[in-house]
């Protein structure tokens, strides 16, 4: 392929979704649903096709495509180019974003059918794809940050998509603001990077970091901690995760695309992208590991007691992201990236499947009012089951391979960590099967009126589900480990960016670990089966939960929202009012007004001397002369 | 092309308006402002090809005092003039929708103000500069007093006047001292920059200047005139005050203070940086719970200019360039926001945020453009508020971490107060009686503002290029020492 076309391909792939968005602004109001949906999907599909071409280009040449578009700012030493870089890591991200993005666009044509804001919805999705591509295609941190905030902006727009609902708007604001807290940390990370390296470009920084042995480790630790803090906002980790469950207020395709498959993985992408720095910061890695593992378990526990189908999936996402961070903390970048990809497949599948359920039940989201849906929605049932089997890591589904990778890495570090990670995995097994059984198996608990109207979703929604189901089954093939006579293709492919780890376990140990985890998965699975299918147990009513302290604690999500409200939000607004009523009005204004009054008072006093009596003036004059003479005499 | 045009156009237009029929005054004023923008655009184009294309004027004026009528412009001055005239044009357009009594006097005063503010940006003689500075204050005072609204208008106006007058007096003392410090009395910038002043005297001059500019900008704790003034002034005047007048002070610090008292800036600038960045936090916190939309915008403006003030004092290329970029951004964004406040006022006849709700349903265009302006003000990347803020914060970080943290607080709080008020006003269930979107001039003006916000957000590089030489000239002498 001629280098000229190659040079323009990434730009075209990047701009197509933006054209879709701008096009909507221009003529969106005059498009029918069908036109708008098809058009918006086409931009992304074409972008996906171009990404495939780029993928083959990058994999044959083995080098990154660099494109300098223009200088964003360039003055003195401060240089930020608007430049793209398509290397092995970003091209895979592009495939993921535009691939899953295309599927979700197509799905949304069915899901959003009849919504008053149909066209607007697609324009936001297009804009999101654009910013997400900016995020992964940038060749420097500042442009990456532009994409980073841009996707946050789209997330804000889409969470609050149904803007007449007060709670949804609050959720949208919360998402944006919590992300901004992380973003400020990320910004400071960038300031530190610039102070240390004098550049924002990945290539410069990586080069300097790997060549210069004299770099202060404290600085690197500071940089990496700040970058990680930024990642905890975007990727919903402790302590900044609380926006993600609330973000489920958005339409379900948004939850699948933004809040499961792509945007929330930006934090993981950021750390993989900066792996050269992170490798140099063992302290940060330990923190990441601890935060990731804690989040994985913490969110997994909360998911136990959630009864909203989307909330369960949301906490599951938080938990799975925690697992990815755990892997990053272990230094298993390849494993984390692998899990990022497989998770994107099966979590998008699960969300879209849940969307199909919600669609079929005319908006019902409470799993206590579902049950026995396998009879009504055969296709949705099958694909959802595939998604569940993939996420609980049953072989040979995609999730099995990627989770196994992470578990192996954990064992190499310490068997205790392996146990902890396994426990977090078993939590997943339980709450996901609970979800599956309560929705698709057992007795039907819908009202008869609802039950009579249950319908399978249209083909335009099912087709993307089938594709994602296939990916969830076979996605593991990307990175088959040696144990199964594979070559770890994915890790080899991204090895120019992330060097492969060369530590291995004995095969016998690996088999043993696999056996243990498989048996425990089956055991936990059986418990869930017994409880929800054989005994027909259904989650208790909310009033009952309130009676049980532990269940209530989980149901109320450990009261973290309330805690934040009490220690941050409320005090902030009280401080604001106090500063206004006391400091601004009593101190600042009083001082200035007071000095004005003092002037008036003094001038009043002096004015009394100007009383118009000649004799008084003469007397004053005499006194003055006398005074001057006295001073003159004393001085001489 | 001679720089004098930029003073003559608004000045002569003001005189013509005073003579012409009052029915024509509005049209003439807009025509004149548009002409000014065209001329400055032309000048920028010429300047881009040849930096010597803009000729200056240097005439002896008050011979006994060595005062010259000396005006000229470099890239930085041209940029400030561009801001000034674009904002003036916006201000004229905003006036269009309002029923203004005594339009003749009103528009003539705005044009006089525009003239003198332009004068501040081109003066090369400190005494002349001072005269322009003071002259610009007088029309502002009358515009505020006669066309302002609010129960505490008079005390607020007097406070505004006295405050700025106090600053001016300090400044005058410093200027007279500087003018006579050399062997002969000479107020030209080149002569004064060449003076060798001992550090103690530098400190006194620096202090006098900084109090004056701290008031005008304003920064904490010299801001007490600002919120009332911005709230009670008619929207077009608020736009001029926050868009241009605050920039007069910021510009002067770069143009005069840094070259004249460099050691004092380097030594004592940090205290003013602390004050200014503390003001960012302080104003942002106050903005959180303001009930009056316009008053909230006043505090937001204070937070933003505080950041620029600190950025200038970093005394670095990135800090100064970032400040210039951010000045352009703030001028447009605050003009846009106060314009939005005015549009809202026309809907419900109030600035009370709680009185609004659900406007978006019937006003999608207004809601969309308001959102773009809002994100510009928050400083989301690819809007104009980002890159300047980013450069300033980067240089603040390199200067002092605490200053950067104080200033950085605005990044989070800015999102909180803007999104909260947007939610209350625009989103939620509809309960307004207005069922038509913005139309006509209002619509096109807000479209233009949104366009500029995005355009200068994606392509801010020209601002850096335009000011690069000016900034290097200003920084060079000190860096050599």
Q: Tens digits of per-residue pLDDT, B73-118? A: 889 999 999 999 999 999 999 888 777 888 888 999 999 999 999 9
In chain B, what percentage of residues exceed pLDDT 90?
49
pLDDT tens string B133-169: 999 988 998 998 889 888 888 888 888 888 888 889 9
For residue A165, the chain B residues in CB contact (below 8 A) are 428
Q: Mean pLDDT in chain A? A: 87
Q: Do B461 and A150 touch (CB under 8 A)?
A: no
Predicted confidence (pLDDT) per residue in A150-160, tens digit: 999 999 999 98
Confidence of residue A3 (pLDDT cuts 50, 70, 90): low
User: Looking at beta carbons, which residues of chain A come within 8 Å of B314?
Assistant: none
The residue count of chain B comes to 481
Q: What is the pLDDT of residue A1?
A: 47
Q: Is the pLDDT of residue B249 over 80?
A: yes
For residues A305 and A553, what is the distance between their CA atoms, to the nearest angstrom?
9
Q: What share of chain B is helix, strand, coil (3-state, %, to 5)?
A: 80, 5, 20
Q: Can you give the pLDDT at residue A85?
A: 92
pTM comes to 0.91
Cα separation of A14 and A84, whole Å?
Answer: 10
Among chain B residues, the shortest Cα distance to A171 is held by B423
What is the pLDDT, as a whole number, of residue B429? 81
The 10s digit of each residue's pLDDT in B20-65 is: 887 888 889 999 999 999 999 999 999 988 888 888 888 888 888 8
**b/e map A104-134, b = 16+ CB within 10 Å:** bbbbbbbbbeeeeebbbbbbbbbbbbbbbbb
State the average pLDDT over residues A175-195.
Answer: 92
3 state SS of A56 = helix
Beta strand pairing call for A78-86 and A65-75: antiparallel
Quick: pLDDT tens for A449-474.
777 888 888 888 899 999 999 999 99
The answer for A 411-450 residues in CB contact with B (under 8 A) is none
- If we measure between CA atoms, which residue out of B207, B240, B217, B380 comes closest to residue B312? B217
At A564 the pLDDT is 82
pLDDT of residue A275: 92
Say yes or no: A579 contacts chain B, CB-CB below 8 A: yes
Most confident range (mean pLDDT) of A90-104, A110-124, A393-407 is A90-104
Which chain A residues touch B430 with a CB distance below 8 Å?
A: 164
Collapsed DSSP state (helix, strand, coil) of residue B185: coil
Chains A, B: CB contacts within 8 A come to 139
State the Cα torsion A66-A71-A75-A76 to the nearest 10°.
10
Report the pLDDT value the prediction gives residue A560, as an integer from 0 to 100. 81
Q: Of A387, A396, A475, A399, give the one whose Cα is nearest residue A436.
A: A387
pLDDT at position A531: 85
For A269: left if phi > 0, alpha if psi spans -120 to 50, otherwise beta; the answer is alpha
Q: State in Å, rounded, how far the first CA of chain B is from the last one.
A: 36
Q: At A70, is the secondary structure helix, strand, or coil? A: strand
Count Cβ atoms below 10 Å from residue B291 Cβ, excluding itself.
Answer: 12
- Which residues touch A50 (CB under 8 Å, ≥6 apart)? A9, A10, A12, A13, A16
pLDDT at B241: 93
pLDDT mean over B256-274: 90
- Structure token digits, residue A448: 């008869």
Centre a 10 Å sphere on the Cβ of residue B229 and count the other Cβ atoms it contains.
Answer: 27
CA distance B249 to B213: 5
The whole-angstrom separation of Cα A301 and Cα A297 is 6
- Write out chain B residues lying below 8 Å of A185, CB-based: none
Which residue in the set B358, B375, B411 is minimally distant from A164, CB to CB? B358
pLDDT > 90: what percent of chain A? 44
Most confident of A24-33, A224-233, A564-573: A224-233
Burial letters for A449-461: b for 16+ Cβ neighbours within 10 Å, e otherwise?
ebbeebebbeebb
Q: What is the pLDDT of residues A409-452, one digit of tens each?
A: 999 989 999 999 999 999 999 999 999 998 888 888 888 777 78
pLDDT tens, A285-320? 999 999 999 999 999 999 988 889 999 999 999 999
Question: Does the structure show a pLDDT above 80 at A373?
Answer: yes
- Best mutation target among B285, B295, B387, B459 (most A Cβ atoms within 10 Å) is B285
Residue A497, CB half-sphere, CA atoms under 13 Å: how many?
29
State yes or no: pLDDT of A597 exceeds 90. no
Give the other-Cβ count within 10 Å of A523's Cβ.
Answer: 11
* Interval A522-564: pLDDT, tens: 998 899 888 888 887 777 777 777 777 787 878 777 788 888 8
Report d(CA A330, CA A548) in Å as an integer: 37
Q: Is A407 on the interface with B (CB under 8 A)?
A: no
Q: Are B136 and B245 in contact (CB under 8 A)?
A: yes
According to DSSP, the residues that pair with B60 across neighbouring strands are B68
More confident residue, A535 or A632: A535
Q: Is ipTM strictly over 0.95? A: no
- Asked if A577 has any chain B CB less than 8 Å from its own CB, the reply is yes
Decide which of A568 and A308 is more confident.
Answer: A308
- Minimum distance, in Å, between the CA of residue B102 and any CA atom of chain A: 32
Cβ neighbours of A145 in B, within 8 Å: 381
CB B71 within 8 A of CB B3: yes
């Amino acid at each position: 392929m001629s280098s000229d076309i190659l040079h323009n391909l990434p730009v075209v792939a990047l701009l197509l979704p933006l054209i879709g968005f701008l096009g909507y602004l221009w003529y969106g109001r005059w498009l029918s649903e069908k036109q708008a949906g098809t058009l918006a999907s086409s931009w992304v599909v074409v972008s996906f096709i171009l990404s495939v071409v780029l993928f083959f280009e990058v994999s044959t040449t083995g080098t990154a495509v660099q494109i300098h578009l223009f200088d964003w700012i360039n003055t003195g030493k401060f240089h930020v180019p608007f430049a793209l870089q398509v290397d092995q890591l970003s091209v895979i991200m592009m495939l993921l974003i535009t691939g899953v993005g295309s599927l979700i666009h197509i799905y949304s044509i069915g899901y959003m059918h009849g919504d008053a804001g149909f066209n607007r919805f697609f324009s936001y999705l297009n804009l999101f794809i654009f910013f997400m591509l900016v995020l992964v295609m940038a060749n420097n941190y500042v442009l990456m940050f532009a994409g980073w905030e841009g996707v946050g902006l789209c997330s804000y727009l889409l969470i609050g998509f149904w803007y007449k609902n007060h709670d949804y708007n609050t959720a949208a604001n919360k998402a944006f603001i919590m992300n901004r807290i992380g973003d400020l940390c990320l910004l400071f990370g960038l300031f530190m990077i610039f102070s240390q390296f004098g550049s924002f470009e990945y290539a410069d920084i990586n080069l300097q970091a790997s060549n210069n042995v004299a770099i202060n480790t404290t600085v690197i630790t500071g940089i990496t901690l700040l970058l990680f803090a930024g990642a905890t906002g975007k990727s919903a980790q402790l302590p900044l995760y609380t926006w993600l469950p609330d973000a489920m207020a958005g339409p379900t395709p948004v939850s699948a695309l933004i809040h499961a498959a792509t945007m929330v993985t930006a934090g993981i992408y950021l750390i993989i992208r900066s792996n050269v720095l992170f490798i140099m910061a063992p302290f940060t890695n330990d923190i990441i590991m601890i935060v990731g593992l804690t989040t994985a378990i913490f969110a997994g526990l909360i998911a136990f007691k959630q009864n909203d189908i989307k909330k369960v999936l949301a906490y599951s996402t938080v938990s799975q992201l925690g697992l990815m961070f755990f892997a990053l903390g272990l230094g298993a970048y390849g494993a984390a990236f692998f899990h990022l990809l497989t998770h994107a497949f099966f979590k998008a599948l699960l969300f879209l499947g849940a969307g199909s359920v919600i669609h079929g039940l005319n908006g019902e989201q409470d799993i206590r009012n579902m049950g026995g849906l396998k009879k009504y929605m055969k296709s949705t049932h099958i694909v959802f089951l595939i998604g569940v089997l993939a996420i609980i890591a049953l072989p040979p589904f995609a999730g099995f391979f990627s989770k196994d990778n992470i578990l192996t890495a954990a064992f190499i570090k310490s068997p205790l960590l392996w146990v902890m990670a396994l426990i977090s995995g078993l939590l997943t097994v339980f709450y996901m099967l609970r979800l599956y059984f309560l929705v698709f198996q057992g007795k039907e608990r819908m009202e008869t009126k609802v039950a009579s109207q249950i319908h399978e979703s249209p083909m335009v929604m099912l087709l993307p589900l089938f594709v994602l189901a296939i990916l969830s089954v076979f996605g593991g093939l990307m990175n088959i480990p040696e144990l199964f006579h594979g070559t770890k293709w994915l890790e080899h492919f991204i090895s120019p960016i992330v060097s492969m780890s060369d530590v291995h376990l004995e095969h016998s140990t690996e088999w043993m670990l696999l056996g243990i985890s498989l048996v425990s998965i089956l055991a936990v699975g059986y418990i869930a089966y017994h409880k929800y299918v054989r005994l027909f147990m259904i989650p208790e009513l909310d009033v009952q939960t309130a009676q049980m302290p532990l269940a209530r604690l989980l149901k109320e999500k450990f009261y973290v929202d309330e805690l934040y409200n009490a220690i941050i939000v409320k005090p902030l607004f009280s401080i604001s009012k106090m500063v206004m009523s006391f400091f601004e009005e009593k101190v600042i204004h009083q001082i200035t007004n007071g000095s004005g009054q003092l002037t008036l008072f003094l001038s009043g006093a002096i004015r009394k001397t100007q009383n118009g009596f000649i004799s008084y003036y003469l007397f004053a004059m005499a006194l003055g002369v006398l005074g001057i003479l006295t001073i003159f005499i004393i001085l001489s | 092309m001679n720089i004098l045009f930029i003073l003559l156009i608004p000045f002569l237009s003001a005189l013509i308006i005073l003579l012409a029929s009052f029915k024509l005054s509005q049209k003439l004023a807009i025509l004149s402002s548009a002409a000014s923008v065209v001329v400055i655009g032309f000048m920028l184009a010429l300047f881009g090809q040849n930096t010597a294309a803009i000729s200056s004027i240097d005439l002896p004026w008050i011979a006994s005092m060595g005062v010259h009528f000396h005006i000229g412009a470099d890239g930085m001055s041209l940029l400030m003039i561009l801001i000034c005239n674009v904002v003036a044009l916006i201000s004229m357009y905003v006036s269009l929708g309002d029923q203004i009594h005594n339009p003749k006097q009103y528009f003539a005063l705005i044009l006089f103000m525009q003239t003198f503010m332009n004068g501040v940006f081109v003066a090369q003689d400190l005494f002349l500069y001072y005269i322009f500075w003071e002259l610009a204050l007088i029309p502002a005072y009358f515009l505020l007093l006669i066309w302002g609204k609010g129960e505490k208008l008079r005390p607020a106006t007097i406070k505004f006047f006295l405050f700025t007058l106090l600053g001016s007096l300090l400044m005058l003392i410093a200027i007279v001292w500087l003018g006579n410090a050399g062997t002969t009395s000479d107020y030209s910038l080149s002569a004064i920059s060449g003076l060798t002043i001992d550090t103690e005297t530098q400190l006194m001059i620096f202090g006098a200047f900084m109090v004056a500019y701290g008031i005008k900008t304003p920064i904490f704790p010299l801001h007490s005139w600002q919120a009332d003034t911005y709230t009670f002034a008619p929207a077009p005047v608020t736009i001029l005050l926050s868009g241009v007048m605050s920039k007069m002070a910021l510009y002067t610090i770069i143009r005069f203070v840094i070259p004249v008292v460099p050691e004092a800036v380097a030594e004592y600038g940090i205290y003013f940086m602390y004050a200014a960045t503390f003001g960012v936090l302080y104003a942002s916190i106050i903005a959180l719970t303001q009930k009056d939309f316009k008053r909230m915008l006043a505090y937001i403006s204070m937070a933003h200019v505080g950041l620029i003030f600190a950025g200038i004092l970093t005394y670095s290329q990135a800090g100064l360039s970032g400040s210039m970029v951010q000045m352009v951004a703030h001028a447009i964004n605050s003009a846009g926001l106060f314009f939005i406040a005015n549009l809202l006022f026309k809907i419900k006849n109030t600035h009370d945020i709680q009185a609004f709700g659900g406007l978006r349903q019937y006003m999608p265009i207004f809601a969309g453009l308001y959102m773009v302006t809002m994100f510009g003000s928050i400083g989301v990347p690819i809007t104009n508020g980002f890159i300047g803020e980013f450069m300033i914060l980067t240089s603040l970080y390199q200067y002092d971490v605490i200053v950067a943290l104080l200033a950085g607080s605005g990044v989070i709080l800015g999102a909180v107060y803007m999104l909260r008020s947007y939610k209350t006003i625009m989103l939620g269930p509809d309960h307004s009686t207005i069922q038509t979107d913005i139309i006509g001039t209002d619509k096109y003006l807000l479209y233009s503002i949104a366009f500029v916000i995005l355009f200068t957000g994606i392509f801010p590089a020209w601002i850096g290029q335009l000011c690069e030489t000016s900034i290097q000239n200003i920084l060079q002498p000190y860096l050599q020492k």
